[in-house]
A and B are shown apart, each in its own frame.
Chain A
């Protein structure tokens, strides 16, 4: 596709006019340990400390050097150093104990890369620290810690792994499935099959891939459904993302060409439609035409969610949520086939009035905070009928009261429209309690607790 033919969403960037909102340049900042590029070292001292020695290296010194690279070296080298560390045995165990402290908070400070060798080395004390981190809901790298434990799973740990299959974080549920593969736990197949209907497409794909590797080719149908998605959440091309990820996994089970399928193209494009038909035929041939099929809720979707307000919350501690309120007074939760919940009449109008007051005109996208994994992304309809994206973002560290008051008002207004009776399991499998409490907790984890109604002067103009 040529540049002039690119798909553009309703809120997409205009070509050549991309503007970032940079708080940091104006505010100044503390020196950072993280690196700005993938192959540049974090600091000169890291270079010096991690320089390759000329003579054969003492094993402990080597382990310490790899620990340092994994913590503060160039981004691209960190996982490779961690992988090597995991093969060094006792010196690596000693070197790790020197840096990971004694608490989960200490462990968080060394970053995510050392979690993999902590599992791979087989040391009981290191493993215990990993489990302590996984069960601490405030540990910012729970998916990585879970992945480390799952990739080195032990049969004695089944109760803990089974509990993680109901974790609020989809990345934790997905990582947990690795334990089933490592232990070849086909006797627990029913637990994996249940995840084929997870609310998260990431978890569904991981389960389908594992089942296919267990010679359950019917599970490939779940991946093909993702290949056929074209759903969107405002400007976010959720269907396209699912297509890329599903194609990557399907190439493990077919050849790389996938009958000519191209995830960049719409599923209805002639080449893709033909490829999807061929894939379906091939799966029928392998699995039999009568095997299990995906439910309607997880089948291909072309739903395009828009509305007065869309809120995406991604919290490394409390989970991911996509919530929108449409002009039809319907609340939509999730991606693909969102759950639809009728709201009180006038909900959209009330929100629209608030947004028009606080955001009278459309502007370029705005950022509050700094790039990071924790995100609140507000897709707002402005008073002039335009659209505005405001992102509240932060890294793994706690940042109190990050969300500005005028967005507190928006989030509070959205929460006020949610039915208190709506169960949390619309978004997270087996979650207990009410959905609004779950969303409120996720918002508190990213931007801080919602504050009372702000003064009008707080609004961004």
Chain B
């Protein structure tokens, strides 16, 4: 189905976002609560060591609040969680986002701040070109 620009019509609430089941939510009580900026507001370049305050979170169960990156335009199981919904002034460097992968279900674009719950994995992952494709990863649910 195609639409014109004018077709970006006003919607009514469509609850396509999956939320954590009751069990997951309960598990969140034991999670470390973070703001995405706890991870992203650091001075870092490819190859740099991360601060111990961050590396100690590797493998931990966390709740992180932040914003969905504006590139998300459709339903997806994976999205970058960022510190600001607007990225027009900043380059998206590897330490500027959490690569969130939903374990169950999918989500559409979410405006405004929200939280994700899951296991955090920290460390550079490179592709065959040597580009760092992620520094922070979270596998879990929208909380």
List the interface of chain A (C-beta within 8 A of B): 1-4, 6, 13, 15-30, 32, 34-40, 52, 69, 74-82, 112-113, 116, 140-141, 143-144, 147, 171, 175, 240-241, 244-245, 247-248, 251-252, 256, 263-264, 314, 316, 363-373, 375, 389, 391, 393-402, 404, 460
Contact surface of B with A, Cβ cutoff 8 Å = 1-3, 5-17, 19-20, 25, 28-29, 31, 33, 35, 37-38, 41-43, 46, 51, 53, 63, 68-76, 78-80, 83, 85-89, 91-94, 97, 99, 107-115, 125, 127-129, 131-134, 142-143
How distant is the Cα of A32 from the Cα of B131 in the complex, in angstroms? Answer: 23
Partner of A15, one of B25, B68, B131: B25
Nearest CB to that of B22 among chain A residues? A16
Task: Determine which residue in B8, B29, B76, B80 has the highest number of CB atoms from chain A within 10 A of its CB, and name it.
Answer: B8
Q: Are A4 and B29 in contact, with the CB atoms below 8 A?
A: yes
> How many inter-chain residue pairs (CB < 8 Å) link A and B?
243
Report whether B11 and A366 are in contact in the complex, using a CB–CB cutoff of 8 Å.
yes
| A–B Cβ pairs within 8 angstroms, 6 of them | A16-B143, A21-B11, A25-B14, A36-B76, A371-B111, A372-B86
Interfacial chain A residues near B88, Cβ < 8 Å: 112, 140-141, 143-144, 171, 316, 373, 396
Task: Give the residue of B75, B80, B86, B127 whose beta carbon is less than 8 angstroms from that of A25.
Answer: B75
Contacts A24-B74, A400-B5 known; list 4 others, CB within 8 Å.
A20-B110, A29-B73, A69-B131, A366-B10
Pair A375/B86 contact, Cβ less than 8 Å: yes
Contact status B8-A369, CB under 8 Å: yes
CB-CB < 8 A to B92: which residues of A?
38, 75-76, 78-79
Pair A36/B42 contact, Cβ less than 8 Å: no
Residues from chain B with Cβ under 8 Å of A34 in the complex: 71, 73
For the complex formed, measure the closest distance between the CB of B8 and the CB atoms of chain A, giving whole angstroms: 5
Asked whether A21 lies within 8 Å of B12 as measured between CB atoms, the reply is yes
A residues near B113, Cβ cutoff 8 Å: 13
- The answer for the CA separation of A175 and B88 in the assembled complex, in Å, is 13
Closest chain-B Cβ to A38's Cβ sits at a distance in Å of: 4
Complex interface: chain B residues within 8 A of A314 (CB)? 86
Query: Which of chain A's residues has its CB closest to B5's CB?
Result: A399
Q: Is the CB of B41 within 8 A of A248?
A: yes
Closest chain B residue, CB of each to CB of A16:
B19
Q: Which residues of A contact B2 (CB under 8 A)?
A: 28-30
Q: Which residues of A contact B134 (CB under 8 A)?
A: 38-39, 76
Closest CB-CB distance, B133 to chain A, in whole Å? 4
Smallest CB separation, B82 vs chain A (Å): 9
Which of A3, A30, A113 contacts B28 (CB under 8 A)? A3
Q: Which 5 A-B pairs have the closest CB atoms?
A: A28-B1, A39-B133, A373-B88, A171-B89, A143-B89
**Which one of A28, A52, A248, A402 lies within 8 Å of B129 (CB-CB)?**
A52
Residue of A15, A39, A365, A370 near B109 (CB, 8 A) is A370
Contact between chains at A29 and B33 (CB < 8 Å)? no
Contact B91 A113 (CB under 8 A): yes
Chain A nearest CB from B101 CB (Å) reads 8
Chain A residues with CB under 8 A of B89:
143-144, 147, 171, 175
CB of A61, distance to nearest CB on chain B (Å): 14
Given contacts A37-B78, A371-B72, A22 and B25 within 8 Å (CB-CB)? no
- Which of A244, A364, A372 lies in contact with B13, CB distance below 8 A? A364
- Out of B38, B53, B133, name the residue touching A38 (CB < 8 Å): B133
Query: Which residue of chain A has its CB nearest to the CB of B51?
Result: A256
A79: chain B residues at CB < 8 Å are: 91-93
Residues of A within 8 Å of B17, CB to CB, are 18-20
Contact between B14 and A22, CB atoms less than 8 A apart: yes
What is the CA–CA distance of A34 and B129 in the complex, to the nearest angstrom? Answer: 21
**Of the residues B31, B68, B85, contact of A375 by C-beta under 8 Å:** B85
CA A263 to CA B39, docked complex, whole Å? 12
- Given A1-B33, A248-B41, are A16 and B8 neighbors across the interface (CB < 8 Å)? no
In the complex, chain A residues whose CB is within 8 Å of the CB of B86: 314, 316, 372-373, 375
Cβ–Cβ contact A23 & B10, under 8 A: yes
